[in-house]
Amino acid sequence: MSSDHAAHAPSSAPNAPHALRFVLHVWRQKNAQSTGEFATFHLDDVSPDMSFLEMLDVLNERLIAAGDDPIAFDHDCREGICGACSLTINGQPHGFERETTTCQTHMRRFEDGATLYIEPFRANAFPIVKDLVVDRSAFDRIIAAGGFVSARTGSAPDANALPVPKGDADRAMDAAACIGCGACVASCKNASAMLFVSAKVAHLSLLPQGQAERGRRVLSMVERMDAEGFGNCTNESECEAACPKGISVANIARLNREYLRALATES
Amino acid sequence: MTRRLSSSLSSSIGKKALMSVTGLLLIGFLVVHLAGNLTLFSDDTGEHFDAYSTKLMSFGPLLTLAEIGLAVLFVVHLALGLRVTFENRAARAQRYALERDRGSRSFASSTMLVTGCLVLVFVVVHLLDFRFRERASDGLAAMVVRRLSEPAGVLIYLVGVTALGIHLSHAFRSALQTLGLNDTRFDRPLVRLGRVLAIGLGVGFALFPLILFSGARKHTQAAAQAPAPVEVPADVPAVEEAQR
C-alpha cells in the first residue's frame, strides 16, 4: 500500500470544535516473512474521548471504506484486564501512561498535533503475525512448562482453613495481577521475559497450594523461557516501569532466589 | 545430577548468578588491593609499601595460585559478560524506530560492556607496568611514583579507575538482585554497602594518580627525578632544592 494516506472523509465527529489532530506512523507488515515499513496517516478529527484503540477503529473504518487493508491489531476486553493489546506508542509498550494499558489510554492524554509512532511489540520470541499483531504463544508454552498447580484443590475451603500470612497473601496477589501482555518483554532492551516468569513463579511459590511443585516449576519455566529465545535480565527495571499492572522487579529477585534454591535442593 | 547442574548454570539465571559471584569476589580482591596500596601513603619514603610488596612476593607458589585464581575469576566474568551481552542484542533483531527509557536504565547500566572492556585494557597495562616488569633497584614504590608522575600514566590510570567506578555503580546492586538478595531483610544494609564500595573503590584508587601527579607527597618528587635503573643520587634534598 502507499505510504502516505490522508484519511479525512467522511468526518462526522459531533465534537468537532475540540477535535484533535495527529500524524500517525503505523507499522505495516503483511506477515512474519515479509519486511515491514511505516505507513503515514493524518487524522484531523479525533475526539478527545476516544480510547487509543477506538482511534484505530475509526482509522480502519476509513481504510475499509477506501478499499484499503485495515490495520491489524490485537484487542479483546478493552477494560485493561485481558492483556491482549500489544502495541508500542512512541517506543513505549501501552504508551507513556504509567500502569495503563493501550485500550485504557485516551486520546486527550496526547498533545494536539503530536506525531505518534505505532509499532508492534518487538522481540524475536514474539514473531510478528501481521501489522501490530505479534504471536505471544511463547508465554503460553512457559505457563504449560510449570506455571500451574496440579494438585486437586477441591472446592473453596473455609476461610482460614489454609493459614496464609497477610504479607505473603498480599505479595502473591500483587504478582497474580500480571495479565501476561508482554509489555515487560517489549520494553526490555534485552527482550527478557523475566518479569512475566517471576510474577507467575512468585505468585505460586508464596501460597501453600504451590509448594508441592515449587522447585520443579521454577527450573522448568526458566528452561522453557530460555528455549524461547528471550534475552537475559540486566536489572535495569524498564519492565517494571512499562508494566500496566505495576508488577515489581522484587519478583525477579524472588525468581532468582527460587531458582538458586531449586538448583541446590531439587534432585 | 551433574548434567543438570551444568545445564542449569548455563541457563539465563545460572549465567548471571556466576557473573555475580565472580564479580563480587573480584570486588573483594579490589578492597584488599586498595588497602595494601594505601601503605604507599603511610610513610614518606615508600618503605612500608615496598615491605608489603616484598612480603607478598615471598609467598611464592601460594601467590601464583592466588593469581591464577584471580585470572580465572576475571576470565569467567568477562566471558559470561560477553556471552550475555551478545545474546541480549540478538534477542531483538528488529529495533524500535523510537526508543524511550523510563525505568532505572542508567549510563552505567547501559555501558557495562564498554566499562568492562576499558577495565580489561587497564588491567593489562597495569600488569605490564608493575607485575611483569623487572623490579627497579630503588623499589616498587619508586616505580609506582615514576609511572604516575608521567602525564600518560596518569591519564591511563584515571581512565581505568573511572571506568571501574562506573562499572561498580551498577554492578553491586545488580549482583544482589541476581543472587536474589534484594527485597529481603539484607536489602538496605547491602545497598548501602554497595554505594560505599563503588564510591570508596573509585575514589580510593583515583587518589594514587591524583596525589602522585600533583606531587603532594615528598617521596614523589624525589623518586620522580630518578630514572629507573640508576641508583637514587645521594643528594636527594639537592634535587628537591633545584626543583624549587
Q: Higher pLDDT residue, A195 or A9?
A: A195
Computed over every residue of chain B, the mean pLDDT equals 86
- Which of A232, A237, A256 lies closest to B84 in CB terms? A232
Partners of A92 on chain B (C-beta within 8 Å) are 100, 102
Residue B55's domain comprises: 14-88+106-230
Partners of A215 on chain B (C-beta within 8 Å) are none
The number of C-beta contacts closer than 8 angstroms across A and B is 148
Please give, rounded to a whole number of angstroms, the shortest distance from the CA of A165 to a CA of chain B.
Answer: 16
Classify residue B38: in a domain, yes or no: yes
Classify residue B242: in a domain, yes or no: no
CA torsion, ordered B232, B236, B242, B244, to nearest 10 deg: 120
Contact: A125, B100; criterion CB under 8 Å:
no
pLDDT, tens digit, 9 for 90 and up, residues A71-123: 999 999 999 999 999 999 999 999 999 999 999 999 999 999 999 999 999 99
Q: What is the SS3 assignment for A145?
A: coil
* A71 Cβ contact list (under 8 Å, min separation 6): A26, A28, A56, A59, A60, A63, A131, A132
Classify residue B182: in a domain, yes or no: yes
Q: Where in chain A is the domain with CATH 1.10.1060.10?
A: 136-152+161-265
Whole-number Cα distances in Å, A102 to A61, A73, A244: 19, 11, 9
DSSP string of A52-118? HHHHHHHHHHHHHHTTPPPPP---S-SSSSS----EEETTEET-SSTT--GGG-BGGGSPTT-EEEE
Smallest CA-to-CA distance from A138 within A120, A125, A147 is with A125
Alpha carbons B223 and B139: distance in angstroms, whole number: 10
pLDDT, tens digit, 9 for 90 and up, residues B3-17: 567 777 889 999 999
Classify residue B211: in a domain, yes or no: yes
C-alpha cell at B24: 563480587
C-alpha cell at B80: 559470561
pLDDT, tens digit, 9 for 90 and up, residues A12-53: 545 455 899 999 999 999 999 999 999 999 999 999 999 999
CATH of A136-152+161-265, one of 1.10.1060.10, 1.10.1380.10, 3.90.340.10, 1.10.10.10: 1.10.1060.10
Classify residue B93: in a domain, yes or no: no
CA torsion, ordered B232, B237, B242, B244, to nearest 10 deg: 120
Say how many domains are in chain B.
Answer: 1
Computed over every residue of chain A, the mean pLDDT equals 92
Alpha carbons A196 and A222: distance in angstroms, whole number: 11
Q: How many CB atoms lie within 10 A of CB B166?
A: 22
Q: What percent of chain A has pLDDT over 90?
A: 86
We report the CATH number of the domain holding residue B192 as 1.20.1300.10
Strand-pairing partners, residue A87, are A120
Classify residue B235: in a domain, yes or no: no
Q: Does the CA dihedral A40-A41-A46-A50 come out positive or negative?
A: negative
pLDDT, tens digit, 9 for 90 and up, residues B137-148: 888 999 999 999
CATH of A4-130, one of 3.10.20.30, 3.90.1150.10, 3.30.750.200, 3.30.2130.10: 3.10.20.30
Classify residue B2: in a domain, yes or no: no
Q: How many CA atoms lie within 13 A of A202 on its CB side?
A: 31
Q: What ipTM, to 2 d.p.?
A: 0.87
